[in-house]
Amino acid sequence: MLRYYATPLIILLAGLCVTASVRAQSPPVTVSVTVLDNTGLPLPGFAVSLTPAEGAAPVTDTPHAVMDQINRQFAPHFLIVRKDTQVRFPNSDSIKHQVYSFSAAKRFALLLDKDSEADPLTFDTPGVVELGCNVHDWMLGYIYVVDTPYFSASDDKGQSEFVVPPGSYTLSIYHPRMQEPQEILRRELTLTKNQTLRLPLTRALLPDFSQYNADDEFGQYE
3-state DSSP assignment of residue 25: helix
**What Å distances lie between residue 178 and 33, 119, 185, 189, 208, CA to CA?**
18, 31, 10, 22, 10
> Under a CB-based contact definition with an 8 Å cutoff, are residues 94 and 116 in contact?
no
Q: What angle do CA 59, 63, 64 make, to 5 degrees?
A: 160
pLDDT in tens, 31-75: 999 999 999 999 999 999 999 998 777 777 889 999 999 999 999
- Domain chopping of the chain, boundaries: 29-56+149-204, 57-147
The beta-strand segments (E) located in 7-126 are: 29-36, 47-52, 64-66, 68-70, 73-75, 78-82, 85-88, 97-103, 106-112, 121-123
Q: Is the pLDDT of residue 96 over 50?
A: yes
Please check whether residue 105 is in contact with residue 129, taking contact to mean a CB–CB distance below 8 angstroms.
yes
Q: Do domains 29-56+149-204 and 57-147 have the same CATH topology?
A: yes
| 93 against 212, higher pLDDT | 93
Sign of the alpha-carbon dihedral angle for 84, 52, 41, 38: negative
User: What is 57-147's CATH number?
Assistant: 2.60.40.420
pLDDT of residue 131: 96
CA distance linking residue 143 with residue 133, whole number of Å: 14
pLDDT digits (tens, 9 = 90+) for 165-204: 999 999 999 999 997 656 788 999 999 999 999 999 989 9
Q: What is the mean pLDDT of residues 134-141?
A: 90
Q: What is the CATH code for 29-56+149-204?
A: 2.60.40.10
pLDDT of 114 reads: 78
Other residues' Cβ atoms within 10 Å of the Cβ of residue 176: 21
24 pLDDT tier (thresholds 50, 70, 90): low
